[in-house]
Structure 1
Amino acid sequence: MDVPIAANILGTTGAVCWSIQLIPQIIVNYRRHHTKGLQSSMMMLWATAGVPLGVYNIVEDFNLALKIQPQILTALSLLTWAQCMYYAKCWAVRKCFAATATLAVILGGIQAALIFALRIAKDRELSWPLTLMAVLSACLLAAGVIRHYWDIYVHRTVRGISFLFVAIDAAGDLFSILSIVFQRKLDILGIIIYGTELVLWIGILACGAVYNFLPWMMKREKREQDIVEEPVSLHPMPSSTSVFRTASCDGDSVTRRVVSHD
C-alpha cells in the first residue's frame, strides 16, 4: 500500500473516532440532565487546544483527515461545555448559544490568523513557532485530562465521564499516531501530541477498572453469594389426604376442604 494512502486511511479512522468521541458523553449528559463530575474546564481547554493543533496540522500539511480533526474537536468540546453551563450553572439556552457561537468565531479567527503567520514563518525557515504550537496543543489536551485525575483522587472514583467516550478518544489518538508514522516524513512532535493524551486516557481507563469495575464486581458476587446462602424455610403440611385451600367469600377466613379417597 502506498504510504500516503495508508496515512489517509489511518488519519480518516482517527478523525472519525474524534468526530464521534464526545457524542456518547453528550447523550449521557442529556439523558441524566446533569453534568456532575464532568469538568467544564476540560471542555474549554480542549476547545482551545483545537486551535494550535489545527494550525500545526495544516501548516505541516498533514493529510486532510488530520487537518479536519482539530476543528471537530473544538466544535464538540464547545457543545459539551455549553451543556456544562446549562446544567451546572443554570444558564439559559440563549446565553449558552450566544457564548458558544462567540467563542467559535473567536477561536476560528485566531486559528486562521496563525495559519497565515506560521506559513510565512515556515517559508523563512523559522521552526520555533510551529514547535510552540505543538507544545501548546499537547499541554492543553493533557491539562484537560489531568483535571479529571484530581477529581478521581478526591472522590476515589471515576465519575461524570463516559467510558465509551474515553475508549473512542483513545482509539482516535492511536490511529492518529499511526497515520503520522505512515507519513512520508516522520513528525516526532505530532506523535508526542497524540501520544501524551493516549497515555493519560489509558490511565483513566485503569482508574475506572480499579475504582469502578472491581468494586461493582465484588458487590455483585457478594449479592449472588448471599442469595445462594439464604436459608429456605419449609412450612409443615398436614399428613392427611389431598388438601385444597380456598378463600371464603368474606375474605376473612380460609375454608379447608378435605377430599378423601374411597
Structure 2
Amino acid sequence: MNVPVAANVLGTLGAVCWSVQLIPQIVINWRRHNATGLQPTMMMLWAWAGVPLGVYNVVKDFNIALRIQPQILTFLSLVTWTQCYYYEKKWSVIRSLTVVVPVACIMGGVEAALIIALRIAQGRHLQWPLTLMAVLSAALLAAGVLRHYWDIYVHRTVRGISFLFVGIDAAGDVSSLVSVVFQREFDVLGIVIYGTELILWIGVFACGGYYNLLPWVQKTLKRRKRDANGSCALAPVCSRSSGREPDSAPGPIALHDLPSSTSVFRTPSGELDIVRQRSMASRGGDDENAVRP
C-alpha cells in the first residue's frame, strides 16, 4: 500500500497506547471494587465511536496499526462499561455478559456491513458517506469526554477517572495524529478525529490541576506551616510539664512527651488541649493524696 515508514511506526505507537490506555482504569476499578465517578455513558459512547472510526480507517487504507486501533478501543470501552454496572448497579457477571456480548456482536456486524457499503460507494466516487463516518466518530469520542466534563462541573473535582489512563490516551492521540500527517495523502478529517479528543483530554488535565492538584498543594503547605508554628508555640509548655527549663530557642515537641495516639497531623490547639489535660490530671492526683488520711 506504499504507506510511509514514519506513518507505520507512529501508527503502531498510537495503537499500543490505545491498547493499554484503559487498562489502568480497569485495574483501579477492580482494586477499589467500585467505579464511582466513572461515567458508563462515556464508555458506551466510546465503544460505539470505534465502529465508524474503524470503518473510516479501513476504507481509507490507513496502516494496519490504525485499523486495529478502533477495535481495541471498542473492546476496552465495553469492558470498562461492564465494570460500571457490575460495581455500581450490582449486576451479576452473567447479567453483565448477557447484555454486553450481544452489543459487541451488533457493533462488529454493523462495522463489517459499513465497510462493504462504503467501499462500493467509494468505487462510485461517493465521498460523503466516508465523511459522515469521520464526523460521527469524532462526535461520539467528543461526547464521551464531554459527559465527564459535566461530572466535573457538577462535583467541582475530577473524580473516578485515572489520570494515567488520560495521559496514555492523550499520548496515543498525539502519535495517531502525527501518523495521519505522515500518510502519503494528507487527511484533514483524520486530524480532526484525533485532534478533537486530544484537546478535550488537555482540558481534563487542566481541570485536574485546578480542582485536585492545586487544593492539595495549598492544603499541604498550610499544614506544614501550622505544624511548624504549633511546634514553636508548644515548646515552653512541654518543657514545664516535663520539669525541664525551656531552651532559649523554641524547638519542636518531642513525640515521647505526647500520648501515643497523637498524630503529626493534629492541630496545635489539639496538642495544647492534650498537654492541659495531662497537667490537670497530675494536679488532681496531688490533691487526692493531700486529703487522703
TM-score, normalising length: structure 2: 0.79
Tell me the residue number matched to 2:130: 130
Distance in structure 2 (CA, Å) of the matches to 1:94 and 1:216: 41
Aligned residues of 2:14 and 2:171 also touching (Cα < 8 A):
yes
> Secondary structure of 1:135's match?
helix
Superposed counterparts of 1:216-227, under 5 Å: 216-227=216-227
> Secondary structure of 1:221's match?
helix
Distance in structure 2 (CA, Å) of the matches to 1:108 and 1:223: 54
Tell me the residue number matched to 1:37: 37
Distance in structure 2 (CA, Å) of the matches to 1:215 and 1:100: 39
Distance in structure 2 (CA, Å) of the matches to 1:104 and 1:23: 19
- Structure 1 letter corresponding to 2:227: I
Q: Deviations over 1:130-172 (max 9, x none)?
A: 0000000000000000001111111100001000000110110
Distance in structure 2 (CA, Å) of the matches to 1:185 and 1:210: 40
Distance in structure 2 (CA, Å) of the matches to 1:19 and 1:136: 22
Distance in structure 2 (CA, Å) of the matches to 1:3 and 1:210: 42
How far is 1:121 from its partner? 0.3
How far is 1:237 from its partner? 3.9
Tell me the residue number matched to 1:76: 76
- Structure 2 letter corresponding to 1:165: F
Aligned residues of 2:35 and 2:88 also touching (Cα < 8 A):
yes
How far is 1:32 from its partner? 0.9
Q: Name which of 213, 228, 243 aligns with 1:236.
A: 243
TM-score, normalising length: structure 1: 0.89
Q: Deviations over 1:158-211 (max 9, x none)?
A: 001000000110110010000000000010000000000000000000000000
**Looking at both structures, which has the greater relative contact order when contacts are Cα pairs under 8 Å and sequence separation is at least 6?**
1
Distance in structure 2 (CA, Å) of the matches to 1:74 and 1:3: 25
Distance in structure 1 (CA, Å) of the matches to 2:80 and 2:9: 28
- Structure 2 letter corresponding to 1:108: G
Aligned residues of 2:3 and 2:63 also touching (Cα < 8 A):
no
Query: Structure 1 stretch 99-108 or stretch 12-21: which is displaced more?
Result: 99-108
Distance in structure 1 (CA, Å) of the matches to 2:84 and 2:3: 42
> Secondary structure of 2:4's match?
helix
- Structure 1 letter corresponding to 2:128: W
Normalized per residue, which structure has more helix?
A: 2
Distance in structure 1 (CA, Å) of the matches to 2:13 and 2:3: 15
Sequence identity (%): 66
* Structure 1 residue ranges without an equivalent (≥5): 239-252, 254-262
Distance in structure 1 (CA, Å) of the matches to 2:205 and 2:197: 12
- Structure 2 letter corresponding to 1:103: V
Tell me the residue number matched to 2:257: none
Residue 15, structure 1, aligned to residue 15, structure 2: yes
- Deviant stretches of 4+, over 3 Å: none
- Structure 2 letter corresponding to 1:122: Q
What's the C-alpha RMSD, in Å, of the aligned pairs?
1.4
Distance in structure 2 (CA, Å) of the matches to 1:100 and 1:76: 12
Distance in structure 2 (CA, Å) of the matches to 1:84 and 1:183: 38
Superposed counterparts of 1:1-262, under 5 Å: 4-230=4-230, 231-232=234-235, 233-234=238-239, 235-237=242-244
Distance in structure 2 (CA, Å) of the matches to 1:156 and 1:237: 50
* Structure 2 residue ranges without an equivalent (≥5): 246-284, 286-293
> Secondary structure of 2:160's match?
coil
Distance in structure 2 (CA, Å) of the matches to 1:99 and 1:62: 32
- Structure 1 letter corresponding to 2:243: P
Distance in structure 1 (CA, Å) of the matches to 2:96 and 2:169: 25
Tell me the residue number matched to 1:242: none
Distance in structure 2 (CA, Å) of the matches to 1:29 and 1:165: 12
